[in-house]
Structure 1
Amino acid sequence: MDATSARQRLEQMLAELDRSIGVLRGDPVAVRERSAADSGSDLSDADRAQAMLTVATAHRRAVLDALKRLDEGDYGRCVDCATPVPEGRLEARPEAARCVQCQGKRERRR
């Protein structure tokens, strides 16, 4: 994925995550935007909302880290082994920081 496309996708993801985080936190502007766009059920379960907020915040951090790697010229290289991250992986997950092998090792350690 070229740098321009990666930056556009990452910035779009960041904007979407910021809106989602705003809704989950109860930001009145974000809630109004959500209400206008989606008349789905309210987030009434505080535990579920907190879990979703935690995931969205972690995903936001990954997107910001990817933008930083892009700015530093390290985007597309695994942060653990420095090998190129496969193009298909970056297409599917533009924020991916690791190659499939290193990501698998990281997940097995958890």
Structure 2
Amino acid sequence: MDDATARMRLQNMLLELDRSIGVLRGDPPAERERSAADAGSDLTDNDRNRAMLDVATQHRRSVVEALKRLDEGLYGLCVDCGKPVPEGRLEARPEASRCVECQSRRERRR
């Protein structure tokens, strides 16, 4: 993937993530009388919302880091071993910072 295409895709991802994060951070609905079941449901919704917000925030961080690597001329190189990240991986995940081998090794350690 050429740098211009990568930059465009990453910037579009960043815009979408910013929109999603804004929605997830939105103000809670107006207070209303609630039953205990409603309160439990709200807690579950809040937990789910918080988890989605955490994932979106981390994804946003990955996209910003990819844009920084692009600016530094390091985009497409694995941050661990320095080898090229396969083109197919970058097509699927433009924000990818590691080659498949290094990413697998990282995930096994978790």
Instruction: Work out whether the TM-score is over 0.5.
Output: yes
Which runs of no fewer than 5 residues in structure 2 stay unpaired? 28-41
Structure 1: tracts of 5 or more residues without a match? 28-43
Query: Where in structure 1 do 4 or more consecutive aligned residues deviate above 4 Å?
Result: none
C-alpha distance after superposition, 1:25-44 (max 9, x if no partner): 006xxxxxxxxxxxxxxxx5
* TM-superposed deviation, 1:60: 0.1
Cα deviation per residue 1:47-97 (whole Å; 9 max; x = unaligned)? 000000000000000000000000000000000000000000000000000
- Give me the TM-score of the superposition, normalised by structure 1: 0.84
SS of 1:80 mapped into structure 2: coil
Q: Between Structure 1 and Structure 2, whose CA radius of gyration is higher?
A: 2
2-structure distance, mates of 1:23, 1:15: 13
Pair 1:74-2:74 in alignment:
yes
Match of 2:33 in 1: none
Question: How many matched pairs?
Answer: 95
d(CA) in 1 for partners of 2:91, 2:107 = 21
Matched, 1:14 2:14: yes
Q: Tell me how far apart the structure 2 counterparts of residues 107 and 56 of structure 1 sit (CA, whole Å).
A: 19
Residue 57 in 1 paired to residue 57 in 2? yes
Q: How does 1:23-34 map to 2 (within 5 A)?
A: 23-26=23-26
Alignment RMSD:
1.3
Per the alignment, residue 109 of structure 1 pairs with 109
CA distance in 1, matches of 2:106, 2:58: 16
1:106 shift after superposition: 0.2
Letter in 1 for 2:23: V
Counterpart amino acid of residue 96 in structure 1: A
2:85 counterpart SS class: coil
CA distance in structure 2 between the partners assigned to 1:16 and 1:84 by the alignment: 27
